[in-house]
Chain A
Amino acid sequence: KQEVTQIPAALSVPEGENLVLNCSFTDSAIYNLQWFRQDPGKGLTSLLLIQSSQREQTSGRLNASLDKSSGRSTLYIAASQPGDSATYLCAVNHNTDKLIFGTGTRLQVFP
């Protein structure tokens, strides 16, 4: 059974810091991996999607890497801003049909 874990569970940093959020999964036979952002009481915003054949994806200040063989992905946030405060979720697509979500990292960036 696929299990997805995110570390840390919560993170509070001053703005301007570069951040690394971690995601690990137990079954490396994934189709792709997505990183999402969720603001309180809101739905999900897709940030980055990495196909299993890819090693990283970049969008603006965000960079996500994937090491499928070791079951790990990291989301790198450069020069964090208060507006980055949210919960970040990673999810693996295991058999092209179901997304298995991680436990989430609650990020707070203070001015």
Chain B
Amino acid sequence: GAVVSQHPSWVICKSGTSVKIECRSLDFQATTMFWYRQFPKQSLMLMATSNEGSKATYEQGVEKDKFLINHASLTLSTLTVTSAHPEDSSFYICSARDGNGISYEQYFGPGTRLTVT
């Protein structure tokens, strides 16, 4: 149980275009999902917290108009990188928290590697 998927696993796009990444909880309902980014050989940095049915909460320094997050259902959150630039190239990982769980454990997706050319 507690499986989280991401799609796509990797994507290459041209500078100026937008890219959407999906995060799904497959066997549980996730009231809260989290989006992280990871640069090479660095640790994960939280970008935003996504709550089902409400606006996402962004961490300091993360542009909410550039990284659009939608959490329209209890099993799906999407991250859209708008007007992507090469500096947005990174590994994006989502996680989901079981809404019925008591441990507040987060379950992580396999990540999406974005390359902007």
Contacts and interface: CB of A to CB of B under 8 A. Distances in A.
B75 interface: no
B107 A46 contact: yes
Interface of chain A: mostly helix, strand, loop or mixed:
strand
**Category for how many chain B residues contact A:** 20 to 34
A32 B49 CA distance: 18
B109 A46 contact: no
Interface string A24-60: 0000000110101000011111100101000000000
A89 interface: yes
Contacts, number: 52
Nearest to A90: B43
A93 B44 CA distance: 14
B103 A32 contact: yes
A78 interface: no
Interface of B: 6, 32, 34, 43-46, 49, 91, 93, 95, 103-111, 113
19 contacts: A31-B104, A36-B108, A41-B111, A41-B113, A43-B108, A43-B110, A44-B108, A89-B44, A91-B44, A96-B104, A97-B32, A97-B104, A98-B34, A98-B46, A99-B44, A100-B46, A101-B44, A102-B43, A103-B43
